[in-house]
């Protein structure tokens, strides 16, 4: 069917053809008098599908010219079009949006003003910036109206990966740790140790802290700082037996690990939620997190702590999500600010 390009849209004037196209796919916006106005994304898709012929002043506009026109009007056209085309080919009705989100997607068989939207979609290039604060804001907005937020990321070969995004609230039932009297911990530089066998086993049993090595308990610096702040241990220099206060311990830890404060705040938040956080080094993350007994269950989450305002690149996110999926865990990105907010990303197939 013919359509005339007018400004940044294509208009189908014939009422019969306009009605047929709108009713069989919810394309375009009906016009007074029975015509139909198509966006340039819709027009390119319909021309490619052989259902539309675009004209300008009576002359047929070739696909090359139409795409040049669309690219000048829609930014970024190629990224948005690849996502639009894919969703349409999956059988969804797709409605374009203004603002930070690109599309509103209706379930198969649904239509605007007849059924609620199923997804909100943000189209992104793999070379675009991953803005954690922006992602959290979009996830919160979608959750408030009971929509599922998907990030559609287009790689350099125009393949698509969809990520479902939602805020997460990890929770467990672990009680606060308690021991009889402060346990003596010796500071060893990049870790700490409980030498007394009885105290070692008591502290480990109180919250699965550290790792029993022979008859001793080795603690990470994060665990040591957390336990010292909680008043459950006293820390001594392994060589001199002198007491180390929290300020000195934190200075030593920062010298070894510059992001120690960031990790400690995330660790404290997780422990305060009743879950157990252990190092996630073997999985390329800061923590692996258990909701129950780590000797009886597998870690449910991998958690990576990021500062408020973090901006990264999508390949980093892709690696983290893929790795977590490969070991049957969920990846949570923790934004550390006044508190800690967690966002969960998961590869999905819409």
Q: Is 318 helix (H, G, I), strand (E, B) or coil?
A: helix
Identify the domain boundary among 256, 287, 312: 256
- 229 has catalytic annotation: no
The predicted model gives 213-219 an average pLDDT of 96
CATH number for the domain that contains residue 194: 3.40.1170.20
Task: Identify the active-site residue in 114, 215, 298, 325.
Answer: 298
248 with 268, same domain: the answer is no
Query: What residues form DSSP beta bridges with 341?
Result: 335
Tens-digit pLDDT profile for residues 254-303? 999 999 999 999 999 999 999 999 999 999 999 999 998 888 889 999 99
92 with 152, same domain: the answer is yes
Task: Identify the active-site residue in 290, 301, 304, 342.
Answer: 290
Q: How far apart are CA 62 and CA 171, in angstroms?
A: 57
- 298 has catalytic annotation: yes
pLDDT at 292: 85
DSSP state at residue 74 = S
Q: Nearest Cα to 195, choosing from 216, 214, 218?
A: 216
| Cα 208 → chain centroid | 29
Lowest mean pLDDT of 89-93, 238-242, 291-295, 301-305, name the range.
Answer: 291-295
- 310 has catalytic annotation: no
pLDDT at 58: 83
CATH number for the domain that contains residue 126: 3.40.1350.150
CATH number for the domain that contains residue 343: 3.40.1350.10
Residue 175 lies in a domain: no
Identify the domain boundary among 256, 286, 304: 256
Task: Identify the active-site residue in 69, 186, 278, 329.
Answer: 329
Instruction: State the total domains in the chain.
Output: 4
85 with 143, same domain: the answer is yes
């Amino acid at each position: 069917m013919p359509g005339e390009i007018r400004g940044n849209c294509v208009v189908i004037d014939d009422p019969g053809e306009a009605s047929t196209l709108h009713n069989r796919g919810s394309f375009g916006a009906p016009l007074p008098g029975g015509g139909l106005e198509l966006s340039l994304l819709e027009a390119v898709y319909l021309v490619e599908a052989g259902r539309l012929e675009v004209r300008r002043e009576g002359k047929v506009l070739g696909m090359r010219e139409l795409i040049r026109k669309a690219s000048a009007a829609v930014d970024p056209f190629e990224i948005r079009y690849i996502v639009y085309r894919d969703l349409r080919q999956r059988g969804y009705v797709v409605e374009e949006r203004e603002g930070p989100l690109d599309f509103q997607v209706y379930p198969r068989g649904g239509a605007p003003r007849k059924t609620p939207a199923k997804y909100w979609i943000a189209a992104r290039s793999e070379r675009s910036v991953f803005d954690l604060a922006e992602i959290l804001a979009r996830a919160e907005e979608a959750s408030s109206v009971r929509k599922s937020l998907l990030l559609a990321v287009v790689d350099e070969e125009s393949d698509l990966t969809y990520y479902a995004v939602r805020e997460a609230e990890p929770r467990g039932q672990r009680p606060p740790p308690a021991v009889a009297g402060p346990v003596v911990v010796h500071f060893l530089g990049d870790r700490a140790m409980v030498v007394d066998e009885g105290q070692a086993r008591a502290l480990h049993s109180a919250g699965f802290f550290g790792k029993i090595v022979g008859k001793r308990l080795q603690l990470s610096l994060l665990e040591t700082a957390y336990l010292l702040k909680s008043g459950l241990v006293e820390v001594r220099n392994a060589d001199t037996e002198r007491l180390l206060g929290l300020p000195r311990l934190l200075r030593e830890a920062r010298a070894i690990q510059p992001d120690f404060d960031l990790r400690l705040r995330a660790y404290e938040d997780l422990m305060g939620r009743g879950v157990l956080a252990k190092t996630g080094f073997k999985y390329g993350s800061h923590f692996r997190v258990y909701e129950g007994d780590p000797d009886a269950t597998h870690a449910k989450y991998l958690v990576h702590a990021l500062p408020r305002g973090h901006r990264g690149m999508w390949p980093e996110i892709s690696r983290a999500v893929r790795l977590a999926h490969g070991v049957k865990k969920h990846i949570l990105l923790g934004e550390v600010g006044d508190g800690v907010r967690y966002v969960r990303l998961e590869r999905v197939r819409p």
